[in-house]
Amino acid sequence: MHIRRIHRRTPIESWTRPRQRARTRTMAAALLSAAALLASACSSSGSASTSATVATSAGAAELAALPRTPPSALAPYYDQKLTWRECGVPGFQCATMRAPLDYARPVAGDVRLAVARKKATGKAEPPGSLLVNPGGPGGSAVDYLQQYAGIGYPAGVRARYDMVAVDPRGVGRSEPVQCLNGRQMDVFTETDMTPDDQKETDRLVGEYRTFAEACGTHSAQLLRHVSTVDSARDMDILRAVLGDPRLNYVGASYGTLLGATYAGLFPQRVGRMVLDGAMDPSLSARRLNLEQTAGFETAFQSFARDCARRADCPLGAQGSTPTRIADTLRTFFQKMDAHPAPTGDADGRKLTESLATTGVIAAMYDKAEWEQLREALHAVIKDNDGAGLLVLSDSYYERDADGRYSNLMSANAAVNCLDLPSAFAGPEQVEKALPEFEKASPVFGPNLAWASLNCTYWPVRAAGEPHRIKAKGAAPIVVVGTTRDPATPYPWAQSLARQLSSGRLLTYVGDGHTAYGRGSACIDSAIDTYLLNDTPPAPGKRCS
């Protein structure tokens, strides 16, 4: 999948300032999509604890619930006491929690997880904690809590709950997966993702191999134990350590897979759970990548229609058809492939086709970024200045001005490649699939098809497989889907809501990735009412 990013973090809303919103969305929402550039699975032994949780039921793989009472070997983790301390951000406290590196062998050692909280601002006794996760995989939940959720969620929610976040294992402050350094990541992100000949294909494959080998070298032991199942089990330890009988949770993008997995493993411990921008766990990596490709095409068509109504549209005259605008964008990408544009970057980077494509994709996550995208495209098409698109691309990858990258992309690949077998076995399969991907998206199809190759060379064999999540016996779970969501297409939310025995679908008819806090009073009211009063939205509720 081309996630990341989504952040990769979670819904970026009207509750934040526009520039902060753009930064957060590309860090979070995009996370899921970064998976395309880095995502799926491959080659040696995986975590036994992960595969053991997937059972076969009536001919279909289904996530099996764990015993209600944790095994005695896990008692030291469930009984631990957190030591809270100030952590440099006013109003927030931080702690370190221990979890077993390998749930199948707790004696094998610990992984230390970073936890943060902001106490409820109201005077009434809180009903418990509200755990938040912005997505990814690879997005820092602690950063998300401190930079947005803990100060930007509705006042009523913050008054009622202790707001809590934990960086999943391998992410951010929780013993992060390490792969390439900054300069190596620059080379990786600039690599041509639409090879025109065997030489370019070999170079792309070489970069995927280099990335995978670096992860295997620097994080060999951790790579086998960063699955979504592992992180969901960590969440149950945190729930117990916080003293909460049930887990209250809001997850966005990949965070919905994490939340749904928790519900499947611990259905009796589900409290008030919101899954916004839902993923479908029953799909293979290839299906996920292909359907996400179609999702980005849907989002681009919406952007193109909006652009065509404006006099400043850089991709065509006012009144141009979306097809004409798409043709212009493809021509622009081809130009960047042949002659990358200068950017004025301190490290001498130019705007390659790959970076330009990532910049455009980054803006598809949030309609509020369309103006910035138009300005960036105008600058490079009219003036050969690629700086604006490079800024969008860097925000997607979480690259700072000093050339340092967060571990977003490393963790993204590590989790995705452990969760599912690779979409393709080699470049020959990608070439055969190109027509299907190009049909799904004439604009992004080739790029996203080749991006689906990233887990083919992963040093650790996938421990998971596609499966359904029923979570029989769980309290009502609100699944939110946006009809023109690029990174988590609306059919995924429909599917997850049907799979969950207590799923309740809430639909946002609109653009962008995720829905909560994006300006729809209808969506926000429905979710806030559920979180505060335990009253889920009516079946089939739709908002715009």
Please check the confidence at residue 41 and state whether its pLDDT lies above 60: no
Query: E strands, 37-127, where?
Result: 54-57, 60-63, 85-86, 93-100, 110-118
pLDDT band at 298 (very low <50, low <70, confident <90, very high): very high
Please check the confidence at residue 24 and state whether its pLDDT lies above 60: no
Does the active-site annotation cover 282? no
Distances (CA, A) of 459 to 93, 138, 211, 224: 37, 19, 10, 10
Cβ contact 300:441 at 8 Å: yes
- What's the average model confidence in pLDDT over 279-293? 97
> What does the pLDDT read at residue 316?
95
DSSP 429: H
Cβ contact 26:396 at 8 Å: yes
Mean pLDDT across the chain: 90
Q: How far apart are the first and last CA of the chain?
A: 27
Catalytic residue among 253, 354, 422, 502: 253
Q: What tens digit of pLDDT does each residue of 504-532 get?
A: 999 999 999 999 998 999 999 999 999 99
Does the active-site annotation cover 225? no
Picking from 17-26, 91-100, 240-249, 405-414, which range would have the lowest pLDDT averaged per residue? 17-26
Which residues does 35 contact at the CB level (< 8 Å), separation at least 6? Answer: 1, 2, 3, 4, 137, 288, 412, 413, 416
Catalytic residue among 485, 502, 511, 524: 485
Please check the confidence at residue 428 and state whether its pLDDT lies above 70: yes
> What does the pLDDT read at residue 325?
97
> What does the pLDDT read at residue 124?
80
pLDDT band at 3 (very low <50, low <70, confident <90, very high): very low
Amino acid identity for residue 240 in this structure: A
Cβ contact 413:458 at 8 Å: yes
> What does the pLDDT read at residue 60?
56
By percentage, how much of the chain surpasses pLDDT 70?
89
pLDDT band at 309 (very low <50, low <70, confident <90, very high): very high
Q: What tens digit of pLDDT does each residue of 374-404 get?
A: 999 999 999 999 999 999 999 999 999 999 9
Q: What tens digit of pLDDT does each residue of 113-147 get?
A: 999 999 999 988 778 899 999 999 999 999 999 99
Give percent helix, percent strand, percent coil of the chain, each to the nearest 5: 45, 15, 40
- DSSP for 445-491, written as a single string: HHHHHHHTTGGGG-SSB------B---TTPPPEEEEEEEE-SSS-HH
Cβ atoms within 10 Å of 180's Cβ, excluding its own = 20
> What does the pLDDT read at residue 123?
82
Q: What tens digit of pLDDT does each residue of 56-106 get?
A: 444 459 999 999 999 999 999 999 999 999 999 999 999 999 999 999 999
Please check the confidence at residue 54 and state whether its pLDDT lies above 80: no
Does the active-site annotation cover 7? no
Give just the sign of the alpha carbon dihedral 87, 92, 93, 97.
negative
- The tokens for 298 are 């849907």
* CA angle (334, 338, 341) in 5-degree steps: 90
DSSP 351: B
pLDDT band at 2 (very low <50, low <70, confident <90, very high): very low
> What does the pLDDT read at residue 42?
27
How far apart (Å, rounded) are the C-alpha atoms in residues 8 and 3?
7
Q: What tens digit of pLDDT does each residue of 473-507 get?
A: 999 999 999 999 999 999 999 999 999 999 999 99
β-partners of residue 93 are 86, 117
Please check the confidence at residue 243 and state whether its pLDDT lies above 70: yes
> What does the pLDDT read at residue 287?
97
- The tokens for 437 are 């991907």
* Helix extents (H) in 171-320: 182-190, 198-218, 228-241, 254-265, 285-308
